[in-house]
Amino acid sequence: MEETIVLADVSKEYGSFKAVDRLSLSIRRGEIFGLLGPNGAGKSTTILMMLGLTEPTGGSIRVCGHDPRTEPLQVKRKVGYLPDDVGFYDDRTGMENLLFTARLNGLPAEKARERAEHLLSQVGMEQHAHKRAGTYSRGMRQRLGLADVLMKEPEVIILDEPTLGLDPEGVREFLLLIQRLSREQGITVLLSSHHLHQVQQICDRVGLFVAGSLLAVGTMSELSAKLFADEPVVIEADVFPASDQLLEKVGSLDAVTHVERAHSGELVMTCRSNAAADIARLVVESGASLHRLSTKTYGLDEIYHRYFEGGQKHA
Ligand SMILES: Nc1ncnc2c1ncn2[C@@H]1O[C@H](COP(=O)(O)OP(=O)(O)OP(=O)(O)O)[C@@H](O)[C@H]1O
């Protein structure tokens, strides 16, 4: 598949401090990619380098086939950038702000109005089109910001913390809007966030970015598998009767490192690998009935806790 954004070994040093450390990353055309990391991870610095607004101290970047360092204008033409706080002319209406952007991009007046009207309706702002931007709520500003970056029909949209300051329903609506527009128009989307829970709803892939380095990249299930590959598998079984003899047999399986009875009476087995089939067979062979058997898988909450709430850089 065609790649729209390619970073190879990109670094950004401020004196002896490495804000971005040898970052390599490829984002495919039409993909929605989430750059996730806690505050200070280097997300904004990476975005600014992609836009040609700050220079990397090492490595190379291609955005839509152009090098932002040497061809910033070509990149600017194809990339729409929505910063975390969009600046509008507050004394002008939403429509006037869009028309102003259109003029900057050299769009003929009639075409500009047509497109602005279409986009205002696409982002659900047609009713507020003629109100002053200064009266808009945070969510409305974000919608207008999205319409604004779409005015130049970009191939790529880059959004820095787009959900900052929105309420939960506003976050959901805004992210679904981005997803819809990306799917309908084949736009590549890169969004940075420190909200894993929000972003995973719409991202095809995410990259976990901590202290200037990318820890892992993939779909949520790939990340979960990668990041927890070395974790023990925990299997719970609701068995009757759970005799001592059965416990002993289960404990003697090679893969099982520990067996205990939980307060609820269920058996909880810690295993080196997924021994669910062997455990089920032993239970049935022993003449007991197996009411439930489940394998604990690591998901979003564990990833979130480990990388974003817990000690940031994972050993
Ligand atoms: N101009 C600068 N001079 C020195 N250090 C800088 C400069 N710009 C950024 N940094 C440092 O680089 C690191 C990465 O900053 P960056 O803004 O890219 O992080 P971020 O992941 O976007 O975080 P946030 O979500 O807080 O914006 C931070 O430690 C920051 O203090």
Identify which of 10, 20, 44, 192 to mutate to test ligand 1's pocket (most ligand atoms within 8 A of the CB): 44
Q: The tokens 């003899």 sit on which residue?
A: 245
Does the pLDDT of residue 281 top 70, yes or no?
A: yes
Q: How far apart are CA 171 and CA 116, in angstroms?
A: 23
State what percent of residues in the chain have pLDDT above 90: 66
**pLDDT tens for residues 158-182?**
999 888 888 888 888 889 989 999 9
The CA-atom distances, in angstroms, between 15 and each of 12, 19, 50, 53, 255 are 9, 10, 21, 18, 50
Identify which of 10, 17, 215 to mutate to test ligand 1's pocket (most ligand atoms within 8 A of the CB): 17
User: 40 CB under 6 A from ligand 1?
Assistant: yes
Q: How far apart are CA 208 and CA 308, in angstroms?
A: 10
Domain 228-295 part of CATH 3.40.50.1820: no
User: 44 CB under 6 A from ligand 1?
Assistant: yes
Q: Which atom of ligand 1 approaches the CA of 15 most closely?
A: 4
Half-sphere exposure of 172 (CA within 13 A, CB side): 3
pLDDT of residue 150: 93
Rounded to the nearest angstrom, the distance between the alpha carbon of 7 and the centre of ligand 1 is 18
51 is written with which tokens? Answer: 């836009």
pLDDT of residue 220: 79
The residue ranking higher by pLDDT, 34 or 226, is 34
Q: Which atom of ligand 1 approaches the CA of 14 most closely?
A: 4
User: 14 CB under 6 A from ligand 1?
Assistant: yes
309 is written with which tokens? Answer: 């709430």
Rounded to the nearest angstrom, the distance between the alpha carbon of 60 and the centre of ligand 1 is 20
pLDDT of residue 315: 37
Identify which of 14, 84, 158 to mutate to test ligand 1's pocket (most ligand atoms within 8 A of the CB): 14
Out of 54-58, 61-65, 148-152, 195-199, least confident range? 195-199
pLDDT of residue 1: 58
Does the pLDDT of residue 297 top 70, yes or no?
A: no
Mean pLDDT along residues 201-221: 88
Q: How far apart are CA 135 and CA 143, in angstroms?
A: 14
Domain ranges of the chain: 3-218, 228-295
**pLDDT tens for residues 268-280?**
999 988 899 999 9
Residue nearest to atom 1 of ligand 1 (CA): 14
Q: Which atom of ligand 1 approaches the CA of 209 most closely?
A: 21
Does the pLDDT of residue 226 top 90, yes or no?
A: no
Which of 313, 302, 278 lies closest to 225, judged by CA? 302
SS (H, E, C) the chain: CCEEEEEEEEEEEECCEEEEEEEEEEEECCCEEEEECCCCCCHHHHHHHHCCCCCCCEEEEEECCECCCCCHHHHHHHEEEECCCCCCCCCCEHHHHHHHHHHHCCCCHHHHHHHHHHHHHHCCCHHHCCCEHHHCCHHHHHHHHHHHHHCCCCCEEEEECCCCCCCHHHHHHHHHHHHHHHHHHCCEEEEEECCHHHHCCCCCEEEEEECCEEEEEECHHHHHHHHCCCCCEEEEEEEECCCHHHHHHHHCCCCEEEEEECCCCCEEEEECCCCHHHHHHHHHHCCCEEEEEEEECCCHHHHHHHHHHCCCCCC
pLDDT of residue 163: 87
Region 3-218: CATH code: 3.40.50.300
pLDDT of residue 145: 94
User: 193 CB under 6 A from ligand 1?
Assistant: no
Identify which of 43, 47, 49, 51 to mutate to test ligand 1's pocket (most ligand atoms within 8 A of the CB): 43
ipTM of the complex: 0.92
**Bridge pairing between strands 156-160 and 79-82:** parallel
Rounded to the nearest angstrom, the distance between the alpha carbon of 260 and the centre of ligand 1 is 48
Does the pLDDT of residue 11 top 50, yes or no?
A: yes
User: 224 CB under 6 A from ligand 1?
Assistant: no
Residue nearest to atom 5 of ligand 1 (CA): 14
Side chain identity at 81, as an amino acid letter? Y
The CA-atom distances, in angstroms, between 110 and each of 104, 153, 161 are 15, 16, 33
Count of residues making up the chain: 315
**Bridge pairing between strands 233-240 and 79-82:** unpaired
pLDDT of residue 314: 42
pLDDT of residue 300: 63
> Are the C-beta atoms of residues 157 and 189 closer than 8 Å to each other?
yes
